[in-house]
Amino acid sequence: MKKTRTAIIGAGAMGLACAYDLLKAGHEVHIFEDDDRVGGMSASFDFEGLNIERYYHFVCGPDYPLFEMMKELSIADKLKWNETKMGFFYNGKLYKWGNPLYLLTFPEADMITKLRYGLHVFLASKRSDWKNLDGVNALSWIRNFVGVKGYNIFWKPLFDLKFYELANNISAAWIWTRIKRVALSRKNIFTEKMGYIEGGSDTLFQALVQEIEKMGGKIHLKNRVKKIAIKDKELQVLEYDGGIERYDNVVSTIPLPLVPTIMPELPASLIKQYQDVRNIGVVCVVFKLKNRFTENFWLNINDSTIEIPGMIEYSNLNPMQPNILYIPFYLDKSHPKYNRSDESFIEEVLEYAKKINPAFSSDWVLGHKVHRYEYAQPVCTPNYLNNIPDIQTEINGLYIGDTSYYYPEDRSISESIRLGREMAGAVVQNKK
């Protein structure tokens, strides 16, 4: 009996998880990836002898799809947990952050503002239903609870330096899930506890690749899909760098705005929906340091002289030497700063680092790397559920999804696995 042939576009966590389940269901699976490695935005790189992710990743307590997949792959023992600390750099001074005591002793806000902020975070962490927040504006939701002063101190730079002119149009459901996910990863109200995968995300991806290839799956790296021909709502052929093939199903996991470039024969209404999905890009500077920068894993920043919302000192979660510091600049590709040279971003970070830690000097830096990605963060507007089309398209055998479909959840490897497996389930179900 002839196997059902399925092509998957994209070898990130979503595409690999989808392939894994489809192969278990008996499909013949080919994965096409434009990059020279698997992992997508979670892929690793050789940082002068250290294999580490291009962009920072961490694991939270509710990441059950990730836990289940690691268990299936017999690598559950590679998941490690650590108590972590958080800081808040506000108007030129670094404060301890992340527990009620630090909030109550924070000198830059009055007691009413601090209580309102703390209560809002507490209630959000206890909330279980998000659908009533889908149509609510995040800024209004936060301001109404914590007040304008509280918003300006605790939240404004996180919105403004991530979404810029779009900051006033973000869904409250999206920001709620960010609060809740981190809150559910706490050991208790005074202690934050985060996880990481020993060996990095690549440990997971290589285990998936091994299983995929063992089951007969084919992964075509450095192999871009050029076009998928469609006629009368039926898939025709898939054209890629190596030739042309016919498939019974195609599952696309690439960013939605890229879909029309390879599927120009989609219905015009569907093309418009994909093109209308907004994303914010990222320029991420990674430093290798000979000294610890701070004691914090996560450092939020609200300072008028610093144009980033935070820094992530990954080595304070996953102990390693040298120390690793990620500094993300969230910028739309149209932003004039996005296309500046790598050197200019490195110089800017050096300036910021000296402000945050006066003991810091450039000779701490043992290495640096700058990564850019145009589709780092979907812009989840109010009523976002109404803005994205169904994963199962009106084209027979065509399934399209990306990180936008995690909504209201934020980007994570766990969500990628969840969605990839759901897409595989839909493909299998519709072929019965």
Query: Is residue 209 situated within a structural domain?
Result: yes
Residue 309 to residue 160: CA distance in whole angstroms: 8
Same domain assignment for residues 104 and 173: yes
Bond into 322 cis (ω within 30): yes
CA dist 356 and 340 (Å) reads: 23
- Virtual torsion, Cα 121, 123, 128, 133, nearest 10 deg: -70
Domain membership flag for residue 254: yes
**Helix or strand or coil: residue 364?**
helix
Closest CA to 109 of 117, 99, 101: 117
From CA 216, how far away is CA 40, in angstroms rounded?
22
pLDDT at 387 (0 to 100): 84
Q: Give the DSSP letter string of 289-302.
A: ESS---S-SEEEEE
Q: How many CA atoms lie within 13 A of 365 on its CB side?
A: 18
For residue 293, is it within any domain?
no
Indicate which CATH number applies to the domain containing 395.
Answer: 3.50.50.60
User: Which of 120, 155, 189 is the C-terminal boundary of a domain?
Assistant: 189
Instruction: Give the residue from 127, 158, 189 where a domain finishes.
Output: 189
- What number of H helices and E strands is found in the chain? 12, 20
- Of 77, 97, 20, 13, the residue nearest 311 (C-alpha): 97
Q: Are residues 209 and 185 in the same domain?
A: no
Are 407 and 380 spatial neighbours (Cβ–Cβ below 8 Å)? yes
* Residue 104 structural domain: 100-189
Per-residue pLDDT of the chain (432 residues; tens, 9 = 90+): 689 999 999 999 999 999 999 999 999 999 999 999 999 999 999 999 999 999 999 999 999 999 999 999 999 999 999 999 999 999 999 999 999 999 999 999 999 999 999 999 999 999 988 989 999 999 999 999 999 999 999 999 999 999 999 999 999 999 999 999 988 888 888 899 999 999 999 999 999 999 999 999 999 999 999 999 999 999 999 999 989 999 999 999 999 999 999 999 999 999 999 999 999 999 999 999 999 999 999 999 999 999 999 999 999 999 999 999 999 999 999 999 999 999 999 999 999 999 999 999 999 999 999 999 999 999 999 999 888 899 999 999 999 999 999 999 989 999 999 999 999 999 999 875
Q: Are residues 118 and 175 in the same domain?
A: yes
Q: How far apart are alpha carbons 415 and 421 in whole angstroms?
A: 10
Q: Is the pTM of this model over 0.85?
A: yes
Would you state the torsion angle of the CA atoms of residues 373, 66, 161, 320, taken in this order, to the nearest 10 degrees?
Answer: -80
Q: What is the pLDDT of residue 1?
A: 63
Contact partners, residue 51, CB within 8 Å, separation at least 6: 44, 45, 199, 200, 202
Q: How far apart are the first and last CA of the chain?
A: 15
Same domain, 232 and 180: no
**125 and 257 both lie in a single domain:** no
Residue 256, Cα to own-chain centre: how many angstroms? 15
Can you tell me the distance from the alpha carbon of 370 to that of 366, in angstroms, rounded to the nearest whole number? 14
Claim to verify: residue 229 and residue 253 sit in the same structural domain: yes
Same domain, 136 and 172: yes
pLDDT of residue 178: 93
Cβ proximity of 227 and 193 under 8 Å: no
297 in a structural domain: no
Which pLDDT value is given to residue 345? 98
Residue 105 lies in a domain: yes
Q: Identify the domain boundary among 145, 165, 189.
A: 189
Judge whether 403 lies within some domain.
yes
Domain count, the chain: 2
Cβ count near 373 (within 10 Å): 17
* Tokens describing residue 64: 């059950």
